[in-house]
Structure 1
């Protein structure tokens, strides 16, 4: 094992470099002053970043994505907390089915979900509605939120809850003042992970968005089909920065190592 240490370290470094190289290239190209994707660039400029902020379609799509991610992550958290409590603390018929139902979007391709959602929205007359779009994103981010809340509840010491109940506190008071504060890191981490996944979602969103509810990833996809210029690189760099900041905040709040365990 000792002889393989440097080899394993070099292999891991190569894998990380292979994964990060495209992101670094995109970020560098975003600072080019030229009209084409040029690398290496002779100088650096913020021209294309300024162009992003004055482009009305991208600005509107950003606000759509932000509102959508906030709403879907919050709704997913509201559903995940009681579901996680029921799954971890009670034994009832259909418990395994309920757990599998909540986690099933993880194994269904988003392309299939997008086609199914499009057909369902057409049948109920919800095509183009922002509320139905929130519902669609809630479906795909709930598994991530649920896994982190489940991880927070596994091994949860209920002695403080039992003590409060024995002293006359109601179930609602115990949940609000004891249970929720103790699992709050998991709930917060689940919300943030849901926000990240909703904000970056593109495959399913292509099918269920309308012209008035186009999200930023979908807008980027549509723009890329028409032209490839440094504006796309600038938008991508901003997306990378937003996601990286969210992941850093998630690591500070909950810990990325615990997130990976929760998603396993």
Structure 2
């Protein structure tokens, strides 16, 4: 058992190291003073972080991504929360079909979705619309919210709700004072996961953005096809730090273990 434990620990450590190595390399290159992407770095410098400010297109794209991710994640939660409560708590005809429908975007490659959305938006005459870009992102990220809401609903103790009903509380009061606090970690985790996926989405967004609605990943992709300087690493480092900060804050408030396992 001890030997197997040591082998398992070594294997998992190597897997984690393999996953984190690209992020560590990006963070290191972001602070290089050189003009090219080189390792090892010759000293530390904030040169390429300051260079971001000289490209207003990146600042605009960053703002677009923030607005898009916030709106998409919020709308996804508004759709997934009532659907998840109904699917997770009730038994009704078409329940399995509805669950599969909400999760179906996970089965379709984002490349295929991007082409489909491009054709569909062209037929509607709404190509380049920020509103319809939000709709596309909502469809793509809703399954992430749905899965965590379902996990939170499955893990909650319904005896507290029954006790509240027995004391005369209304359905709205029970939801607000009992149900919502119990599934809040799943809701928050689902929203944050949807936000991150929307913010980082590239493959589908390439097809449905316009010059006025270009997101940060799309702008970075366009820039990377024309230049190989370390500014891409500095922008990536900023995104990594923002994401890590959000995950750390969420862990301190709710605990990632509760969010990921749905309060089981």
Correspondence for 1:65 = 65
Correspondence for 1:243 = 243
| Distance verdict in 2 for CA 1:157–1:20, change over 3 Å | closer
2:146 is the counterpart of 1:146: yes
Correspondence for 1:13 = 13
| Distance verdict in 2 for CA 1:105–1:123, change over 3 Å | same
1:184 positional shift: 1.2
1:2 positional shift: 1.6
1:258 positional shift: 4.7
How many residues matched? 262
| Distance verdict in 2 for CA 1:161–1:10, change over 3 Å | closer
Contact 1:128 1:213 in 2 (8 A): yes
Deviations 1:153-198 (A, max 9, x none): 1142223333333444332232222221221111111111111111
Correspondence for 1:165 = 165
Taking only aligned residues, the RMSD between alpha carbons, in angstroms, comes to: 1.7
1:139 positional shift: 0.9
1:50 positional shift: 0.8
TM-score by length of 2: 0.93
Correspondence for 2:98 = 98
1:132 positional shift: 0.7
Correspondence for 2:84 = 84
| Distance verdict in 2 for CA 1:123–1:203, change over 3 Å | same
Q: Which moved more, 1:18-27 or 1:5-14?
A: 5-14
Give the secondary structure class of the aligned counterpart of 2:3.
coil
Contact 1:31 1:46 in 2 (8 A): yes
| Distance verdict in 2 for CA 1:165–1:8, change over 3 Å | closer
List gaps (5 residues or longer) in structure 2: none
TM-score by length of 1: 0.93
Give the secondary structure class of the aligned counterpart of 1:161.
helix
| Distance in structure 1 (CA, Å) of the matches to 2:198 and 2:93 | 32
| Distance verdict in 2 for CA 1:254–1:149, change over 3 Å | farther
Contact 1:185 1:253 in 2 (8 A): no
Give the secondary structure class of the aligned counterpart of 2:2.
coil
| Distance in structure 1 (CA, Å) of the matches to 2:69 and 2:117 | 18
| Distance verdict in 2 for CA 1:5–1:167, change over 3 Å | closer
1:179-218 matched pairs, under 5 angstroms: 179-218=179-218
Deviations 1:219-256 (A, max 9, x none): 11110111111111111111111121222233334443
Q: Which moved more, 1:37-46 or 1:55-64?
A: 37-46
Contact 2:185 2:258 in 1 (8 A): no
| Structure 1 runs (4+) greater than 6 angstroms displaced | none
Correspondence for 1:252 = 252
Q: Which moved more, 1:237-246 or 1:103-112?
A: 237-246
